[in-house]
Amino acid sequence: MRKSDLVAQLRARHPRRSPEIVELLAEARLKTPLGAFDVLTPPIPDYRAVMSAIDVPSLLVIGDSSPVVTIEMATELRELNPRVRIAQVQDAGHGLPFEQPERLGEVVASFLRELAQ
């Protein structure tokens, strides 16, 4: 795939991301061997078991339009582990650091301040 085609595809898929970030993502994708994605194939660990085992305060930050982690999934995780705090960022999908970096930083900083008290 040509870089220009990939950039156009990524811009359509991620309209909230800046053109600079889209360019960087396209370059990274073109340089990444397909074998790097093998970790995403089964067997995928049961996230419920993983979440239940976490014994420290945790922050789960999700975008309000994430196609990967919904508020329902996040709520289920909190039910499995009451030490999980959920923060939902408006106008963001799954790529929070690219779509709402300032807001993500504010949410994380607030969580860390609460832990320090």
pLDDT of residue 24: 87
CB 84 within 8 A of CB 77: yes
Same domain, 33 and 62: no
- pLDDT recorded at residue 57: 96
Give pLDDT tens digits along the chain (117 positions). Answer: 899 999 999 999 888 888 998 898 888 889 888 777 776 677 767 878 888 899 999 999 999 998 888 999 899 999 999 999 999 999 998 889 988 999 999 999 999 999 999
Is the same domain home to 57 and 103?
A: yes
Same domain, yes or no, for 22 and 63? no
What per-residue confidence (pLDDT) applies to 13?
86
95 and 79 in a common domain: yes
Show Cβ contacts of residue 1 under 8 Å, excluding neighbours closer than 6 positions: 30
In sequence order, the 6+-apart residues with CB closer than 8 A to the CB of 60 are 69, 74, 77, 78, 84, 85, 86, 87
In terms of domains, do 22 and 6 share one?
yes
Judgement on whether residues 55 and 103 belong to the same structural domain of the protein: yes
Q: Are residues 31 and 65 in the same domain?
A: no
Q: 49 and 35: one domain?
A: no
Q: Look up the domain containing 88 and give its range.
A: 45-117
The pLDDT value recorded for residue 50 is 85
Residues 51, 30: one domain? Answer: no
Closest CA to 59 of 15, 117, 18, 113: 113
The pLDDT assigned to 43 comes to: 73
Examine the domain organization and report whether 66 and 83 are in the same domain.
yes
Using left for φ > 0, alpha for ψ between -120 and 50, and beta otherwise, residue 91 falls in: left
pLDDT confidence of residue 37: 72
Query: How many folded domains does the chain comprise?
Result: 2
φ, ψ for residue 37 (rounded to 5)?
Answer: -90, 5
CB-based contacts of 68, cutoff 8 Å, min separation 6: 94
Q: Looking at the structure, do residues 56 and 81 belong to the same domain, yes or no?
A: yes
